[in-house]
Amino acid sequence: MRKHPGLAALTSFVLVALSVTTLGACSVQTTATTPTTSGVVDGNAGRPAPEIGDLDLYDVSDLVKAARDGVVSVTQERVLLTFTGVPEEVPAGAGTGIVVDDDLILTNYHVIEGASKVIVTGRDGEPRDATVVAESSGRDMALLSLEDTSGLEPLPLGSVDDVEVGDPVIAIGNALDLDTSEPTVSAGIVSAKDRTIRTRNGTMQHLIQTDAAINPGNSGGPLLDASGRVIGMSTAIAGNAQNIGFAISVDVAEGFIERYRLGIGEPFLGVQMIDNSQAAADRFGLATSTGALVVDVVAGSSADTAGIQQWDVIVKIDDTPIETADGAVDAILGSIPGDLVEMELVRGRDRLQIEVTIGERPTGT
């Protein structure tokens, strides 16, 4: 069945860091309710009350307890001017973090974006100042360093390769910033793997889709498998759907962490790309309808220096054929800054062979 051409445009994906300012504009009240028997027919009348064990409920309480010291809340403050013109630090957002090493916290970039101060809070409720030591806005990841790590325990990392669609998962996070020391837990399944979505920050690849409830404040929190291992980091929800959330694969996050440990920056070519198509090939007179079509080149970048131009099509990087923009991104991310790679380009009806020295992504881009 053909997809409606306008369907993709109807889906908006929302990054799920919490705006504290927005939360403060409304009050959330929870009211305890007492069930009543008025007008209700009791189909179990005369039967013994079932034991919890008889119901075979999905009990994740032990898993949550084991993971609790590896999950923290992450809040940020920004410097704003008061009406008298005096600078003042004010709360500006909230999210979650995953303890991945003795002094490292993994979270989303959009959780700490624009912060003048980042604060981490664990189970003990004590706020700790954190330092941003690595960031990738394009892949929505950041690493925080702490001096005081008392009471925090790194969570074990799993792999997406070890889970299948339909497997149970648990999401833990600082939902709605309700309580920085006691995060919210939700359960669901792996709905899909290797998803690609587009957010306001760009394209995100290799995501896990889940129906475990993810809400504002969950950003940066762990998605755990049934063994309590981190398989993903909550990052976005579909804004016009129900229970469609996305998590960055732990395999992608591990690469980001390893680069930091090795002191290697993120590779950066300096182009914006889309999938080539027959329509684009016809419009620009291209010799191919596949590959990654370059729609913009960053001035002064590696691509610019190597002579890559707008409307060039990248069809090969080293020995890897490129059929889509995502394929080109994967190939570039597989390199390190300073690598010399060979590229095959289609420019109009011509094919070109060029060499490009991969650069390092500038901070904040």
Residues 155, 72: Cα–Cα separation, whole Å: 11
For residue 314, which amino acid is it?
A: I
Q: In this structure, what token pair is assigned to residue 343?
A: 């590229």
Catalytic residue among 73, 136, 137, 140: 140
What are residue 136's DSSP bridge partners?
A: 141
Cβ density class 64-100: b for 16+ within 10 Å, e for less: beebbbbbbbbbbbeeeeeeeeeeeeebbbbbbbbbb
**Strands annotated E in 100-140:** 104-107, 117-121, 127-136
Catalytic residue among 73, 136, 137, 219: 219
Q: In this structure, what token pair is assigned to residue 229?
A: 């291992």
186: annotated active-site residue = no
Choose among 268, 279, 275: nearest CA to 294. Answer: 275
Residues 6+ apart with CB under 8 A from 27: none
140: annotated active-site residue = yes
Helix (H) or strand (E) holding 236: strand 230-238
Residues 153, 157: Cα–Cα separation, whole Å: 12
Q: What is the dihedral of CA 294, 300, 304, 305, to 10 degrees?
A: -160
Residues 6+ apart with CB under 8 A from 81: 87, 88
Catalytic residue among 73, 110, 137, 211: 110
Residues 6+ apart with CB under 8 A from 315: 288, 290, 291, 292, 321, 322, 344, 345, 346, 351
110: annotated active-site residue = yes
Active site positions, annotated? 110, 140, 219
